[in-house]
Structure 1
Amino acid sequence: MRFDALPLVDHAPVSRPRIERRAVRRVLGETTCYEMPARTVIERVPETAGLGLSFAVSPYRGCAHACLYCGARRAHRYLGLDGERDFGSAIVVKTDAARRLRAELASPRWAGETIGVGLSGDCYQDAEEVYRLMPGVLAALRDAGNPFRVMTKSALILRDAELIAEAAEVAEVEARVSIGFVDDRLRRVVEPGAPSAQKRLELCAELGERGVPCGVLMAPILPCLTDSEDQLRAVVRRVAEAGAVSLTPLVLRLPPGAREWYLKWLAEEHPRLVPRYQELYGAGPVAAQDYRSRVEGRVAELARLYGIGARRAPWTPRRAADHQLALL
């Protein structure tokens, strides 16, 4: 693939996004990439994300999957971009992500906690085919012996399966494929740029065959749309058939930025559900506790019923990490 470079100039119109004052803008088809160095790459994860992670590394901000519900949309506003219109087509690329990560992992202040990779934008979205940032990121984590989880919906992760398997020898590592539901008609609306659930299930199975532990993040479960007993059971059964080593259910969360766009779509397409959503999300971005406990608890019961993770042995290191010096 070839980019058409559009260098920035000092007399750029004021109406241009703020990010263009400090980034190099490059265009690939209908996608605009903003290349810029990262001030830091290990970022804190909000507790409301519900992922059980405190830290994350995201080589890209923005995502070609353009999921309606994505909580990372809000960050686009801080860059002068539109979280609704631009999130799927304006991608921030942290060109020095691997170098910065090595330095931060080597810092005496870093305690070696598990890192989520790809939370602010799928780390294997289309831009990764051009920039190839992930091999360097994975190598840095492997060399430091730092545990991590890679989050993705994309089969491009198979390109790096061998590297992830190597990292799993020195640290607890897991790939996590996001599959919230298996209704493909709904997927085309709320996850317009993402692969089908079937392709993601096949990806999970393929990763397992290549020696990469692969779990499924069952997210999001959409209230009143994908939370029936039949729908939950269908997902869990197919995840079990794909050989997933874990299943983590997560009910839809609606932080500012994602909330406005998702509820706008809901009012247009499913107006009868709006009162129920107002009831569930009246107190903030997280659904009411009793509802979450009931739905996520039922998924956990189904996962036990179908034996997901039952044969997974506790992780033990097979060799020592290299602990290479940071590349400054």
Structure 2
Amino acid sequence: MDDARKAQAPIKGRGAASHVDGRYAVTVARGEDDGWGSVYEDLADAAPLQTQVTEERARSIISRNDSPDIAQSASVNPYRGCEHGCVYCFARPSHAYLDLSPGLDFETRLFAKTNAAERLQAELARPNYRCVPLALGINTDSYQPIERRYRVTRSVMEVLHATSHPFSLLTKSAGVLRDLDLIAPMARRGLVSVAFSVTTLDNHLSARMEPRAAAPHARLRAMKTLSDAGVPVGVMVAPTIPMINDRELEQILEAARDHGATSAGYVLLRLPHELTQVWREWLQLHYPDRAAHVMSLIQQMRGGKDYDSTFGSRMRGEGPFAQLIAQRFAKAHRRLGFGRYPALDTGQFTPPRKPSPQGELF
């Protein structure tokens, strides 16, 4: 990274520390010190970055993939961008498609798909639709803070509830409890499961890495509430990062088991495209004493590179350190009695009626 582009300090309440250029950017902005005072001092004195939300009309809402590394073949993402601001988020590079920065723009320039429920209903009503469990919020969190205002996730869930369509959730937010009235009845029919991503149990580390996500103890409490209501709950230790949070692997699994989780998984840190720059910048600002060592271990697990996207190894890595993490996870998984993620029932799905110009007279 050009010295002129290096961030000088973390930004309170934000994960990224600068507007990292997207790989498709046609023009880029540069701050230069003209000798009359540091441009970085000027930036430090600027007003805090405000979250901007653009309402958009999605043309389609179900995304499909054939990746052998992902259990879910179909997903629904109510939002683009994510205010949680997780510095490690693998979805950050997707903002480059919008000609926006995968750095600060990803967590401050958000898009709400306000017609998501309408599009979902139309897609479920197609004669050739084949029911498979939908994953909500795989790319960005369905329960990020703006959901309280826009309620797009709630509207999508209402369609799934009305059609008995199975789905799974992965979130870092305790806000999922708001929709327990829909989730609990569906869980009793084998139609839903919820997993929480828990990266650390250390509140200070969480505040640095995922500044606007729910605190770790809040996620655990939500996990317990859902479990007590009969909802199958899982935990994802994701991402697992060498010399940052990998030492907590067993403790996170134990805490989750104590709060009702019955299934568990983990994913190693992934650094596709611009995310490697966002991550390196954060690492240098928060842990300059170990930054080189952390990146060395990451590269040892990625064939000498910051990231290797090869199917089969991109989630788990390779080499001795990756094998050690895999062995630790497997041992803790057995000791704590975790099982598999529950299979969801697709046989109860009832397609919605296609909209008729005559309305619902008959």
Alignment correspondent of 2:32: none
The runs of at least 4 aligned residues of structure 1 exceeding 4 Å deviation read: 312-317, 319-322
TM-score normalised by the chain length of structure 2:
0.74
1:233 equivalenced with 2:240 (yes/no): no
1:324 equivalenced with 2:352 (yes/no): yes
1:295 equivalenced with 2:325 (yes/no): yes
Aligned-partner residue type, residue 137 of structure 1: V
1:194 equivalenced with 2:213 (yes/no): yes
Alignment correspondent of 1:21: none
TM-score normalised by the chain length of structure 1:
0.81
Alignment correspondent of 1:43: 63
CA distance in 2, matches of 1:187, 1:150: 21
CA distance in 2, matches of 1:61, 1:125: 11
1:101 equivalenced with 2:120 (yes/no): yes
Larger radius of gyration: 2
Alpha-carbon deviations, 1:169-226, whole Å to 9, x = none?
Answer: 4453101111122122221111111122111111100111223222112211112322
Give the superposition deviation at 1:295. 1.6
1:274 equivalenced with 2:304 (yes/no): no
1:62 equivalenced with 2:92 (yes/no): no
Give the superposition deviation at 1:324. 2.6
Q: Give the alignment partner of residue 152 of structure 1, picking from 157, 171, 183.
A: 171
1:284 equivalenced with 2:312 (yes/no): no
CA distance in 1, matches of 2:201, 2:93: 27
Task: Work out the percentage of aligned pairs sharing the same amino acid.
Answer: 32
Give the secondary structure class of the aligned counterpart of 2:230: coil
Tell which deviates more after alignment, 165-174 or 72-81. Answer: 165-174
Alignment correspondent of 2:53: 33
CA distance in 2, matches of 1:296, 1:55: 27
Give the superposition deviation at 1:241. 0.3
> 8 Å contact 1:267–1:274 — kept in the other structure?
no
CA distance in 2, matches of 1:129, 1:178: 20
Q: Describe the shift of the 1:321–1:143 C-alpha distance in structure 2 as closer, same or farther (beyond 3 A).
A: farther
CA distance in 1, matches of 2:328, 2:237: 12
Alignment correspondent of 1:19: none
Alignment correspondent of 1:224: 243
Give the secondary structure class of the aligned counterpart of 1:289: coil
CA distance in 2, matches of 1:327, 1:158: 31
> 8 Å contact 2:188–2:230 — kept in the other structure?
no
Structure 2: which 5+ residue stretches go unaligned? 1-25, 28-48, 357-362
Q: Describe the shift of the 1:297–1:307 C-alpha distance in structure 2 as closer, same or farther (beyond 3 A).
A: same
Alpha-carbon deviations, 1:146-169, whole Å to 9, x = none?
Answer: 321111111211111120123334
CA distance in 1, matches of 2:118, 2:57: 10
- By relative contact order (CA 8 Å, sep 6+), the higher-ranking structure is 2
Structure 1: which 5+ residue stretches go unaligned? 1-13, 16-28
Alignment correspondent of 2:259: 242
Give the superposition deviation at 1:301. 2.3
Give the secondary structure class of the aligned counterpart of 1:168: helix
Q: Describe the shift of the 1:242–1:91 C-alpha distance in structure 2 as closer, same or farther (beyond 3 A).
A: same
Q: Which residues of 2 match residues 122-201 of structure 1 at below 5 A?
A: 122-201=141-220
- Count matched residues: 298
CA distance in 2, matches of 1:288, 1:178: 19
Aligned-partner residue type, residue 338 of structure 2: I
Give the superposition deviation at 1:79. 1.2
Aligned-partner residue type, residue 101 of structure 2: D
